[in-house]
Structure 1
Amino acid sequence: MIRRSLLACAALSAFAMAVHAQDNYPSKPIKFVVGYSPGGSNDILARIVAKRLGDSLGQPVVVENRPSTGAIVGAVVTKQAPPDGYTLMIGASGPLVINAATYSSLPYSPQKDFIPISTIATFPLIVSVKADSPFKTMPDLVKYTKENPQLSNYASSASTFQLATELLKERTGIQSQHVPYKGSGDSMKSVAGGETTFSMLDPGPAAGAINGKLVRGLAVSSDVRNPSFPDIPTLKEQGIDLSIQFWIGLFAPAGTPTPIVRLLEREVAKAVQHPETLKSMAQLGLTPTSSTSEAFTRQIAQEIPAWTEVARKNNIKADQ
């Protein structure tokens, strides 16, 4: 009887300490793990949001870069962190959805090892060709590749872009061979230099290249035109029934208390609407967004099987 009482007291004490920790959250600096190198869109966005959350929560939010292929290391670091809200991950579609679709095995489960807190931004891809190419519209590009399949190729720097391009090929009949590159900047340079026929670029490298007259944007993959590229029509405007949007979001290790998740969810919603955040995201070609944890979880659950099917049909495997 005495032992039961002691155990009950210990359990109550642990519960009380957990509640107290949640009530006082955050009481020390928070860390954002970013699975990419400094200077890229994910890193820049992480630092923008870190500044906003740090100001509103009253504790510093520091960014820790853990770059690796597929951003896998950053995901593992976050998975292994204590679920107390002090280690969070700025995660993108790549490690949370595309990896699940293209790797036969991963050292983490995208759907079991993390709690999606909120989306932060979405972005389309931009179908880009050499600035002085004869292609002025998507129908021009489609027609050329069908007539000259042996002369057509496309650049991509990761499975994310390869899957998107293969889906574009499926919907348009484009005939083109894949040429892999190490980074989006390299893909852009291959198009600008005429080494490849086209590439679906993310907004960061595309913006500078388009503004610098190195490449020409033929289409954006979103449902509506991107404010950063108002003169580039959507795929749908050109008769192609396809919409692709990728995202960047905030994640916590599985087991993080719900009150902390809810607090962060609310703070992200405020942070992405801050005037400085809106300005910075526009420069990156990103659209600020936020969501509930539940909605974000459902979105990922829907996207994984959809992209897995694209990978299966085109035999795209990242670990082979």
Structure 2
Amino acid sequence: MRWSLLSVLGVLSLAGHAWADHIHPGKVQFPQVSVVAGTQLSQNLHDFATVFSRFVHEKTGSNVQIMQMAGESGMIGADYVSQSADDGSVFLFSTHSTQSVNSMLQKTVSYSPEQDLVNVGMIGTFGAALVVPVDSPFRTFSQLLDAIRLNPPDYRIGYYNSTSQVAAGLFNYYADVNITVMPYKNRSLLLHELAINGIQFAFLDGAFVHDLLKEKKIRVLAITGDIPGIDMNEVDLTAKLHPDFVLEGWLGMAAPRNVPGDVVSRMRSVLRGALADARVKQAMQKTGLKPVDNVCLNIEKFIQHDTERWRKRIMLAKITPR
């Protein structure tokens, strides 16, 4: 199962850059570093990853590249990292999906987050955005809800990853409707179906909406949690439908489980410095990610608590592993 996932050659592309223009004498050096992203990066996320990579290079002297391995809600990328060398040469842009949620939604997961990966630190959190096509007749969350309740069979919602799947199920639960939920292999296919009215709305990770808004492809009607840069005078919170309709994902870093402790500690220090750096912070502001107050402390405890929150929401959404 593990290597069969990696046989999908089309999911791998180099999206970052490697820097070797200067080496800082006296600084602790990693080997050449690859940071794996388990999704197709938006332009804003790509820009953030590029600035982040440059910072890591400046602090460690290592060449750094970002590798996109999109597919299976991040499982392809996480599986690759779990089997990589334990010398500090490979890290994962981890998420709530790769570290906990996938194991609740899939009968077979090709790696164990607990046994195969070690969590390095947190980067930021993000809500999900309920979006419609830019030419949709619906201008507000209330208008959409009223139309769906009037004639539910006329509406379909799509999903392509764990966040959008759980959010779609929760929408049905809290709105007390049973509209059709359509699965898609990736975000691009979902957006295509949204554009041609194959589906009427969907939930997207907040880290992807700003690019689509700039390209005038979507309109945001509501959000499930904080998404920096979204004008709250123009959108609702899904908590308007029900106070418990709150959902937030997160982005962090992880490494193969057997990476030495001192390597993990060094990368934690670099990560902490990166998120305090003005250039990195400026790039992050454009992504829809909300920086966390402390990137490293109690990360395991945070993930345990977060996992239970997702477990409860998946039960409410009546999603069974497939």
Identify whether the pair has TM-score above 0.5, normalized to the shorter chain: yes
CA shift digits 1:12-40 (9 cap, x unpaired): xxxxxxxxxxx984253222223334657
Counterpart position of 2:240: 238
Greater shift after overlay, 204-213 or 147-156? 204-213
SS in 1 for 2:298: helix
Alpha-carbon shift at residue 188 of structure 1 (Å)? 2.7
CA contact (8 A) 1:33 1:90 kept: yes
| Aligned residue identity for 1:60 | N
SS in 2 for 1:125: strand
The answer as to 2:168 corresponding to 1:165 is: yes
CA contact (8 A) 1:114 1:253 kept: yes
Alpha-carbon shift at residue 162 of structure 1 (Å)? 0.8
d(CA) in 1 for partners of 2:175, 2:119: 34
SS in 1 for 2:113: coil
Counterpart position of 1:114: 117
Q: So what's the TM-score if we normalise by structure 2?
A: 0.79
Counterpart position of 1:47: 50
The answer as to 2:266 corresponding to 1:255 is: no
Unaligned runs of 5+ in 2: 1-25
Judged with a 3 Å threshold, the aligned counterparts in structure 2 of structure 1 residues 162 and 237 are, in CA distance, closer, same or farther, namely closer
Counterpart position of 2:96: 93
Counterparts of 1:179-218 in structure 2 under 5 Å? 179-203=182-206, 205-218=208-221
Counterpart position of 2:148: 145
The answer as to 2:228 corresponding to 1:226 is: yes
Greater shift after overlay, 204-213 or 241-250? 204-213
Match of 1:130 among 133, 136, 141: 133
d(CA) in 2 for partners of 1:252, 1:280: 24
d(CA) in 1 for partners of 2:318, 2:240: 28
Judged with a 3 Å threshold, the aligned counterparts in structure 2 of structure 1 residues 213 and 87 are, in CA distance, closer, same or farther, namely closer
SS in 1 for 2:114: coil
Greater shift after overlay, 295-304 or 41-50? 41-50
SS in 1 for 2:242: coil
Please tell me the root mean square deviation across aligned C-alpha atoms, in Å: 2.9
Alpha-carbon shift at residue 102 of structure 1 (Å)? 0.8
- How many residues of Structure 1 are paired with residues of Structure 2 in the alignment? 296
d(CA) in 2 for partners of 1:134, 1:189: 18
Identity %: 20
CA contact (8 A) 1:31 1:88 kept: yes
Q: So what's the TM-score if we normalise by structure 1?
A: 0.80
Judged with a 3 Å threshold, the aligned counterparts in structure 2 of structure 1 residues 247 and 45 are, in CA distance, closer, same or farther, namely farther
Alpha-carbon shift at residue 69 of structure 1 (Å)? 2.4
CA contact (8 A) 2:123 2:275 kept: yes
Match of 1:297 among 293, 297, 300: 300
Match of 1:269 among 272, 295, 316: 272
Judged with a 3 Å threshold, the aligned counterparts in structure 2 of structure 1 residues 186 and 279 are, in CA distance, closer, same or farther, namely farther
SS in 2 for 1:99: helix
Counterpart position of 1:156: 159
Give the number of the structure whose alpha-carbon radius of gyration is greater: 1
| Aligned residue identity for 1:97 | S
d(CA) in 2 for partners of 1:109, 1:134: 44
Whichever structure has more helix as a proportion of its residues is: 1
Alpha-carbon shift at residue 99 of structure 1 (Å)? 0.9
CA shift digits 1:163-207 (9 cap, x unpaired): 122123323334421112232233233333322121112245533
